Structure 1
Amino acid sequence: MTKCVNGMKMVIAVAVAGGVVTSLVPLEARAQDLADYDYENLSFRGMSFDVGYLWADNVENARTYGVQFDLGFLGPGFGLTPGVTYWKSTLAQTEVDQFETRLGELTTDQGGTVPPGGFDLGVIDRSDIVLSMDGQYVWTIPLNLFFSAGVGLSAHFLSGSGQAIDDTFIEDLLGSVSAGFNIHAGLEFPITSRVRINGGSKVEVLGDLNYVELRGGLTFIWGGLAPEEVR
């Protein structure tokens, strides 16, 4: 838990620092007024495929799989990237213990009988399908890299399963749709103008489940390029 919190603080600090740098360093393509931002500028121009790893506060660390869709730039230097991410893990044992304790208390309060030694819920799986919309400023930095930093909104379709909880109210409790918020930062190295190696970090916050994610993959672009993107 301490490692996860420290990791979150570190990534938040990096993302905030990136945002400050973005606001201070003048970009040649920086918009001067709101008229420079128009949804007509957007078009589906590329995709990214990535694999990552997350460190969460109430599930075990898990691998993530994602697809991001490049919609280009809403305005000078500001891109929009919707995406889909999937991960599957197991509920942390401390969380399972809390469920077992609460279940025992509820049973006792209603006049039921708790099994000797208490309830045993076993292993509880936890999975999530994440639909996200991220916005970020992108600019070039030394070593032929692109750096991005921004924020995003997400919808999390969470579910839980396990031999002892299937078809019970506990399974229903673990199944939910939750709204999330993230801070993210990333780097891209262009192999060519239309193929890039990408890597990034994200801090995701959604109430009772928060995590830090690191991921990397490949980006393919077939649509129009900004002048600074041509290699």
Structure 2
Amino acid sequence: MTPLALIAEDEAAIAEILDRYLVREGFRTARAQDGQVALDLHALLKPDILLLDVMLPRLDGWAVLGEVRRRGTTPVVMMTALDQDIDKLQGLRMGADDYVVKPFNPVEVVARVQAVLRRTAGLSPDRVIRQGKLEVDPVSYLVSVRGDDGLRPLDLTLTEFRIIEFMARHPRRVFTRGELVDACLPGEEVLERTVDSHMSKLRFKLKAAGLDDVVRGVRGVGYRLDVR
């Protein structure tokens, strides 16, 4: 079924542009001009994804995000003029799946929406993922390794977390570098070889926690998560 995107944005011009670009890419759309209407439409329509502005009338984006997360697992892309890392971290810690800063390119926003839907398709994004000794908690953005003395959390960057979460949802599948860029670094101007740098650091941290050779390189293709 054609995915439904709910656009919660009080600036009509921005909402119109996003609507037009999403429809062009095959989405159905609905719009809300304030936070309360966004929650009402979310409950009524059960959209596949929510594009959520932070500075909304009546209820702001943080309040809407909190209620949406209490209700379930609808993917959320936050949209805001705020450009501070702490704002981005707040959104991610509260359960947002991605974050774009205004002014933005609508093509980039659509690409991020598509990437989020690929990551979460058919999966519950708030469920702890367990693969062998590896545990990934998408809500707290925490990756841990289970040992004889309990869980040992890893100190990962956001990109490293996105990579291991994405791969943990599809164990033993081989991903090309391009697929990992699209899914885990959406909208960023990076070379595919940048993935190798992130993978090297991620493998080092996993090995230090007792998981060696969990992320394996596949010559001429990309990478695979090989857990036992």
Q: Please indicate the TM-score interval, normalised by the length of the shorter structure.
A: under 0.3
Bigger helix share:
2
- Higher relative contact order, structure no. (Cα contacts within 8 Å, ≥ 6 residues apart): 1
Which of the two has greater strand per residue? 1
TM-score of the two chains, using structure 1 as the length reference: 0.22
